């Protein structure tokens, strides 16, 4: 950061003894995703340091059936540097094709779809996280991934994944639990529908893997499972938490 009034003010925080109060009503949704790329180790750690009592991992599945943290099963093209890695970009469900407004007929929008189920866990772990953004009118992969596309309410200070200058760390579900447990916080995995990979795990098999991942809390979904299969469980859990809160009050 350039020298100036803002930098001087921020540097005063280095010696401050102020600490955010930890509370379960403070939830690190995808971590601290306005400061660090979502669902990265750095984003989770920032949320913890900001006082989040609960930290969330959206659970997705890799080609070889492993659980990882991504907001959507098929968002690697907008939230990682996969398009900067040709060997992995070629494995995307829909490889990148640029917009071409001068073609006959014109191609107004770029087209690409990259899923966690396109990659093995080992391949997934080589990627870098970046701020979730894209440019549908991009005529190149570099323009599609450009930091110019990042929303103004976010920062790319920790997100220069295109050239590898900064490489925010993607995490597995188990790794997210380890980070959160080490800080003594609670976690809430969000299990959504997913695109099945070559192992063709059923939804319930994925759910069982979530539950067996070594949770510190006995509640695997914490009222946050978006599937008809789990609606009754989620509402029952919310009622239990509500009752418990009223009793403590």
pLDDT at 222 over 60: no
Residue 37's pLDDT band (boundaries 50, 70, 90)?
A: very high
pLDDT value of residue 27: 80
CB-based contact 159:142 (threshold 8 Å): no
Residue 2: inside a domain: no
Dihedral, 17, 21, 26, 32 alpha carbons, nearest 10: 10
Report the helix count and the strand count for the chain, using DSSP H and E.
9, 6
pLDDT value of residue 157: 81
pLDDT value of residue 197: 60
Residue 244, CA distances (Å) to 25, 41, 48, 131, 237 in order: 14, 31, 24, 37, 10
Residue 190: inside a domain: yes
Residue 3: inside a domain: no
CATH number for the domain including 207?
3.20.20
Residue 142's pLDDT band (boundaries 50, 70, 90)?
A: very high
The closest of 139, 97, 89 to 118, measured between CA atoms, is 89
The pLDDT tens digits for 181-214 are 899 888 888 877 666 666 667 777 887 787 777 5
Distance from C-alpha of 172 to C-alpha of 69, rounded to nearest angstrom? 6
Lowest-pLDDT range of 89-98, 114-123, 147-156: 147-156
| Domain of 154, in residue numbers | 23-242
Domain count across the chain: 1
What is the model's pTM? 0.77
CB-based contact 92:113 (threshold 8 Å): yes
Q: What is the DSSP letter of 97?
A: E
CB-based contact 195:73 (threshold 8 Å): yes
Residue 102: inside a domain: yes
Residue 16: inside a domain: no
């Amino acid at each position: 950061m350039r020298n100036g009034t803002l930098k001087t003010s921020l540097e005063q925080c280095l010696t401050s003894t102020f600490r955010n109060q930890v509370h379960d009503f403070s939830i690190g949704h995808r971590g601290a995703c306005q400061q660090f790329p979502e669902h990265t180790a750095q984003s989770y750690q920032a949320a913890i340091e900001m006082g989040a009592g609960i930290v969330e991992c959206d659970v997705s599945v890799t080609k070889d059936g492993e659980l990882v943290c991504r907001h959507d099963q098929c968002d690697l093209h907008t939230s990682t540097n996969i398009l900067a890695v040709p060997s992995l970009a070629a494995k995307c469900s829909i490889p990148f094709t640029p917009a071409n407004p001068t073609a006959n007929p014109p191609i107004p929008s770029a087209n690409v779809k990259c899923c966690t189920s396109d990659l093995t866990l080992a391949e997934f772990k080589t990627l870098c996280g970046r701020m979730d953004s894209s440019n549908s009118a991009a005529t190149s992969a570099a323009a599609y991934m450009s930091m110019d596309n990042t929303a103004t309410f976010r920062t790319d200070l920790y997100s220069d994944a295109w050239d590898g200058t900064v490489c925010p760390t993607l995490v597995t579900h188990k790794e997210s639990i380890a980070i959160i447990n080490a800080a003594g916080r609670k976690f809430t995995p969000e299990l959504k529908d997913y695109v099945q990979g070559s192992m063709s795990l059923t939804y319930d098999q994925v759910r069982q893997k979530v539950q067996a991942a070594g949770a510190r809390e006995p509640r695997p979904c914490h009222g946050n499972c978006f599937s008809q299969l789990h609606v009754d469980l989620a509402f029952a859990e919310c009622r239990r938490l509500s009752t418990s809160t009223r009793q403590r009050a």
